[in-house]
Structure 1
Amino acid sequence: MHPTCLVLPALILVSIMIVCIMVKFAVVDKPKPEPGEPTMLDHGSLRFAKNMGLIRLSEKSSLNVSERFPYVAAITRNSSRTWEFACFASVILVKWVVTSAHCRRTGSTHRVFLYNDFARNVSTSYPIMLWRLHELYNSTIPSPKYDIAVAKLNLVNVLPFSLKSAYMDEYEVTAGDVSVWKTVSTMDKKLYLTNDFEKIPVFIAPGTKCYESYGIYLDESMFCVDMSEYDSCFINEFGPIYTGDKIVGIIAVKPRDCDMKLAIFTNVSYYTNWILRTTHTVQFV
């Protein structure tokens, strides 16, 4: 038999095998999320959750602590195709969150994350329908003064979920628990939320301490928190301060570095009437 007759069928056979392999890889199923990785209840997209900045830090989730703060929220935002963690907030009045005014960035889309099932690393995300910044806050020259805002969640077309709200009143407190939903920072300084949660009891320090460090005079609308007795680094990790289920403060000025143990919080109790008026709520909830 002529050698050409043997080579030609062999080439055809090899070509058929290559085509079959290419088709197989073209139609292969998309990889499923690994057990324990962050997922979303709405949209059901692991890719979306990762882009929003949710990662798994360790096998041991701090379930008991996270359940202590069901109303702690994280706000993420994007200005193009990239989402990033922006700041923390607290659910109030069921459909609203209270947060810092400096958290909102003009031209960006914002969403609110809640870790409603911390044991299974399941997060729920809600789009923000509208923002209400304090009328006297100057976004062009940001300062801790009047650094407060409320945002209304868009709860339409999402799976049923019972939002637990923190309550608020206008009575002054001297101590509380800082909720610490931990973050990690990458080399490009992008922040990611993790599945690690902590709470730290704190006392409100004299305003002169923060004045000496930041040169900011603290009136009744702000208070100073001294974390010098703790070894941890708290940059970008502060959530709201609570006493019981009452929201007490939200971060206005975070520590500059790990050696700086002083932070300035906006006094939510001072703004209670403003919150009720802005959200059109007639009574404390």
Structure 2
Amino acid sequence: MKVGCIILSVTIFLAIMAVCVMVKFATDVTVDERKREYESRGGAVYQFTKAMGVISLHENTSLPIAERFPYVAAVTRNSSTLWSFACFASVVLIKWVVTSAHCRRSGATHRVLLFQDFARNYTHTYPVLFWRLHEKFNISNPTPKYDIAVAKLNVESYPFTIKPSVFDEKETYEVDAAVWKTVSTMNKKLYLTNDFDVFEVKIASFNRCFEGYGVELDESLICIDLSDHDDCFIHEFGPIYSMDKIVGILAVKPRDCDLKLAIFTNISYYTNWILKSTHTTYYG
């Protein structure tokens, strides 16, 4: 009886040791895999990118268009442990992005994601050092008026070579809308994809947007007509450009699929404010 108990005890002990060894081995493999992923994919930044939901649809998608608007950026934020897409921006003045003031959420951490290599589906995110919102923008009761902000990026640890978009005070008549396509899930969470497109859009009269949204427009805002396209633009989409010049950032997105009008903040109107806010004394 005692011999049987001893044998059983030894067997159980050996079994426990074997399980411990297997768990240790499996854990070591997992750690090594995570370490390799960290070293090869940019470490914690890569984890940020994954959490922000960049979904690869297919390789080499829209590559010429990616080269056409390489400065389009996505602003993402993290209120707790979940990163989510907030809005789009455009790189200006090397280390800055210009975006909508309503994009910034108080108490949240923000990062700016750039799709640096569409062919290899590679992205990189940059921390926002600080924001500068327009002084007249009402955070507690936001309106399209003065809905503009600039954010400075921390690019010291990972400099990028993306040429920034240009801007000036001249009026623009022909514009393209940059569309970094998104996928919406059942719970209405938006995920970015590696698919990109550009639409030629029309500048409409102030009255059309006033009739559609009840917003009185002036020279600081632009009414954009999207009715020539079948797509339903009910999600946030990218800035509008004229060649490499950024013309506007989204202030009011289309209300539904039938009302294909959007209101953009006129960047040319705020040229001096951008230079002042970024402490840039000269821009050529």
Q: What is the aligned partner in structure 2 of residue 153 from structure 1?
A: 153
Q: Check the 8 A contact 1:76/1:84 in 2, yes or no.
A: yes
CA shift for structure 1 position 165:
0.8
CA shift for structure 1 position 41:
6.1
State yes or no: 1:256 paired with 2:272: no
1:186-201 to structure 2, matched below 5 A, reads: 186-201=185-200
Q: Which residues of structure 1 form unaligned runs of 5+? A: none
Change (3 A) 1:11 1:174: same
Change (3 A) 1:239 1:87: same
Write the distance in 2 (CA, Å) between the matches of 1:133 and 1:227: 28
* TM-score relative to the length of structure 2: 0.89
CA shift for structure 1 position 12:
5.8
Render the CA deviation track for 1:17-62: whole Å, top value 9, x for unaligned. 44443333232235869xxx9x996535543211123222334522
CA shift for structure 1 position 161:
2.0
CA shift for structure 1 position 68:
0.7
Q: Check the 8 A contact 1:88/1:99 in 2, yes or no.
A: yes
Write the distance in 2 (CA, Å) between the matches of 1:153 and 1:23: 41
SS of the residue corresponding to residue 142 of structure 2 reads coil
SS of the residue corresponding to residue 184 of structure 1 reads strand
Q: What is the aligned partner in structure 1 of residue 25 from structure 2?
A: 24
Render the CA deviation track for 1:155-193: whole Å, top value 9, x for unaligned. 23x123213111111111112111001111222222211
Q: What is the aligned partner in structure 2 of residue 205 from structure 1?
A: 204
Change (3 A) 1:129 1:20: closer
**Structure 1 residue runs of 4 or more that deviate by more than 6 Å after TM superposition:** none
Change (3 A) 1:231 1:95: same
Q: What is the aligned partner in structure 1 of residue 266 from structure 2?
A: 267
RMSD value over aligned CA atoms?
Answer: 2.6
Change (3 A) 1:11 1:281: closer
State yes or no: 1:98 paired with 2:98: yes
Q: Check the 8 A contact 1:254/1:263 in 2, yes or no.
A: yes
For 2:89, the aligned partner's letter is A
Change (3 A) 1:243 1:3: same
Write the distance in 2 (CA, Å) between the matches of 1:48 and 1:66: 22
Write the distance in 2 (CA, Å) between the matches of 1:249 and 1:40: 37
For 1:191, the aligned partner's letter is L
* TM-score relative to the length of structure 1: 0.89
Write the distance in 2 (CA, Å) between the matches of 1:272 and 1:26: 55
Write the distance in 1 (CA, Å) between the matches of 2:50 and 2:80: 16
CA shift for structure 1 position 242:
0.6
Change (3 A) 1:16 1:79: closer
Q: What is the aligned partner in structure 1 of residue 56 from structure 2?
A: 56
Change (3 A) 1:6 1:102: closer
Q: Which residues of structure 2 form unaligned runs of 5+? A: none
For 1:182, the aligned partner's letter is K
Q: What is the aligned partner in structure 2 of residue 180 from structure 1?
A: 179
For 1:114, the aligned partner's letter is L
SS of the residue corresponding to residue 27 of structure 1 reads helix
